[in-house]
Amino acid sequence: MRTAARSRRARATPRRRRDVRVGAQPRGARRREALLEAVLRLVAREGVAAVTHRAVAREAGASHRLTTYYFATKEQMLLEAFRHLSARSLERAERAAGPIAAAPERGAAMEAAIDAVTDAVLGGLRAEPGGAAAEYSLVLEIPRQPALAADYAAWQGRVEAVLREHAIALGSDDPDADVRLIVAAMRGLQLEYLARPEQALPRPALRALVARLLTHL
């Protein structure tokens, strides 16, 4: 009988340990996210070359051991940071597209689209941590980090799908071409802002440029 009781207790112990681990997951997820945000801040401020386990630990106010626990290599840190950044970017794009779909008629939808594209340009620049500076640094790293290519293509495809849906709703006769033009214009405006922030356009002037682009497609 005592042997059977000990056996039952031994079988019960792993279940309690699993419960502890499951309960700790949200905290672990927060720690991991804080490390990824530290990676993005470093990339935006100092470039990809600055990313090391120790540098990320200092930036996050965490231990070196914690960074190596979550990320075995620098390449893994960069890949996961890009995934984190692209997911956040896609969420912004989907939120911004909401008013376009809700507009009662095409004229209102066009005004909502102009606002959405304007805010997407500015939102990428103002997003923390890293924003557009980290995004472009990581995209330019793709030739040296081929593992980023598949995630970049998937993210690009999802963003373009959101834009294509609304281009069709606005009456585009070539939504694929129009989406490529819109994306290229958005990136050009962001890169100009990053390169020459002292000459950045105020929102009304930027919105006027976006309006000219969208109404002439």
In order of their start, the domains of the chain are 2-215 (1.10.357.10)
Q: How high is the pLDDT of residue 127?
A: 62
pLDDT band at 22 (very low <50, low <70, confident <90, very high): very low
Position 13 pLDDT exceeds 80: no
Tell me the two tokens of residue 198.
């002292």
Q: How high is the pLDDT of residue 90?
A: 87
Position 66 pLDDT exceeds 80: yes
Q: How high is the pLDDT of residue 15?
A: 42
Q: How high is the pLDDT of residue 117?
A: 93
Q: What is the mean pLDDT of residues 68-72?
A: 97
Position 88 pLDDT exceeds 50: yes
Position 25 pLDDT exceeds 90: no
Q: For residues 132 and 189, is the Cβ–Cβ distance under 8 A?
A: no
Q: How high is the pLDDT of residue 18?
A: 37
DSSP summary character for residue 75? H
Q: For residues 137 and 48, is the Cβ–Cβ distance under 8 A?
A: yes
Q: What is the mean pLDDT of the chain?
A: 87
Percent of the chain whose predicted confidence (pLDDT) is above 90: 63
Lowest mean pLDDT among 67-76, 165-174, 205-214: 165-174
Position 154 pLDDT exceeds 50: yes
Position 92 pLDDT exceeds 80: yes
pLDDT band at 129 (very low <50, low <70, confident <90, very high): low
Separation CA 86–CA 160 (nearest Å):
13
DSSP 158-203: HHHHHHHHHHHHTT-S-HHHHHHHHHHHHHHHHHHHHH-GGGPPPH
Determine the residue type at 45.
R
Q: For residues 117 and 214, is the Cβ–Cβ distance under 8 A?
A: yes
Q: How high is the pLDDT of residue 200?
A: 87
Nearest to 194 by CA among 96, 126, 93: 126
Q: How high is the pLDDT of residue 124?
A: 77
Reported pTM? 0.80
SS3 per-residue string spanning 82-127: HHHHHHHHHHHHHHHHHHHHHCCCHHHHHHHHHHHHHHHHHHHHHC
Q: How high is the pLDDT of residue 19?
A: 34
